[in-house]
Amino acid sequence: RDTFDVGSVRGDFPILSEQVNGHPLIWFDNAATTQKPRPVIERISAFYEHENSNIHRAAHELAARATDAYEDARSTVQRFLGAARSEEITFTRGTTEAINLVAQSWGRANLGPGDEILLTNLEHHANIVPWQMVADRTGARIVVAPVDNRGQLDEQRFGELLNSRTKIAAFTQVANATGTVNPVVSMAQMARRAGARVLVDGAQSVPHLAVDLSELDADFFVFSGHKIFGPTGIGAVFIRERVWDETPAWQGGGNMIADVTFERSIYQPPPNKYEAGTGNIADAVGLAEALRYVERIGLHRIAAYEHDLLEYATPRLAAIPGVTLVGTAEHKASVLSFVLAGHEPHEVGTALNEKGIAVRAGHHCAQPILRRLGYEATVRPSFAFYNTYDEIDFFIETVRQIAGA
């Protein structure tokens, strides 16, 4: 295994030099959002300094530059995910909007009374609530594949729950509250064999694992830019060409139409069909820069380094008297959820903040899985490739102090 030059990577992230409460910032809240490297920050500035224009509509130099940059961003996402065509990539505000698009467009057109939407017990609220909304409208029913006490999906039960009424299976690749990695390639295969469509939530996976949509047979794949070192307010939904005809336009307006009269409108083909109005052009361009940055480091190296960080931190945290790890699945990425006896999670979060350590404390927008494991809230440090063993040592020492151990 080659060595990972974390020092040089850290130099790319200006915010990592911040001081918080007299301590160097330790950013362990990567599952909530990630920090941005200088190339991304500079790319967004350069867009506004040299290229800013609306796209497609106007015929002048800056419109051409902005359109080129935006379509190049789309191709970068396509390549990054291993999609066959750039037209399969639609930009959205993020994962949440992407799932709402699929639920409101595909869901309302294809779900009816008695149909089943198969989720897992591990889902973020963003992959639950939109399906409840569409189930209420269509009479479809939500079915939930269970997990064991470690927060690991029962893959066999998942398979057994698939049947001819299952119209879509929607599941996360990496669970944000526990870090559980799901076997999404085989889950997608099982669901496809049962005749269901497949949506994979990649919000927590794309920053940590290499995703290849030529191997992962999902119909829809969604992610957020801000979790992969890109800007907020931008993300994407991959809509595989085979489902274009059954996925109607969602929002209406400019950009998505070919011709409009008061009697009827003719829509553009994808991706414009799904991108009504002026999109988040600058941040799409910033997202592409983030993906290029990650590609330069290499996701396989990132995954290996982060795996080592997690392997290092896990036994040390678990050894602190009063600590209970929440979610101990065999295959995990980035996330360490825990509780400390005698201390509320938010109290632990506040005490860590006093030492400059940023973690999330709460329900992590995933109440069903936390409740399944017996908790209302946990403390959740989550790592990225710019984190270090020294940071973990300081974190472990601080939790020990909080525990009074």
Catalytic residue numbers read 365
Q: How far is the CB of 16 from ligand PMP (least distance, A)?
A: 21
By C-beta, is 46 or 133 nearer to ligand PMP? Answer: 133
By C-beta, is 34 or 110 nearer to ligand PMP? Answer: 34
Q: How far is the CB of 6 from ligand PMP (least distance, A)?
A: 24
Footprint of ligand PMP (CB under 6 A): 94-96, 124, 126-127, 172, 176, 201, 203-204, 224, 365
By C-beta, is 77 or 203 nearer to ligand PMP? Answer: 203
**Contact (Cβ atoms closer than 8 angstroms) between residue 73 and residue 288:** yes
Beta strands across the sheet bearing 323-325: 323-325, 338-340, 378-380, 360-362
By C-beta, is 94 or 151 nearer to ligand PMP? Answer: 94
Q: How far is the CB of 266 from ligand PMP (least distance, A)?
A: 31
- In DSSP notation, 245-274 reads TTS---S-SSSSEEEE-SS-EEEPPTTGGG
Count of positions (residues) in the chain: 405
Q: How far is the CB of 204 from ligand PMP (least distance, A)?
A: 5
The residues, ordered by sequence, that sit 6+ positions from 78 with a Cβ below 8 Å of its Cβ are 85, 86, 88, 89
Q: How far is the CB of 132 from ligand PMP (least distance, A)?
A: 15
Residues 350 and 31: their CA atoms lie apart, in Å, by: 18
Please report where in the chains the tokens 């009074």 appear, as a residue: 404
Using only the alpha carbons of the chain, give its radius of gyration.
22
By C-beta, is 88 or 201 nearer to ligand PMP? Answer: 201
Range list of H helices, 258-344: 281-297, 299-318
The residues, ordered by sequence, that sit 6+ positions from 364 with a Cβ below 8 Å of its Cβ are 31, 124, 176, 177, 337, 370, 378, 380
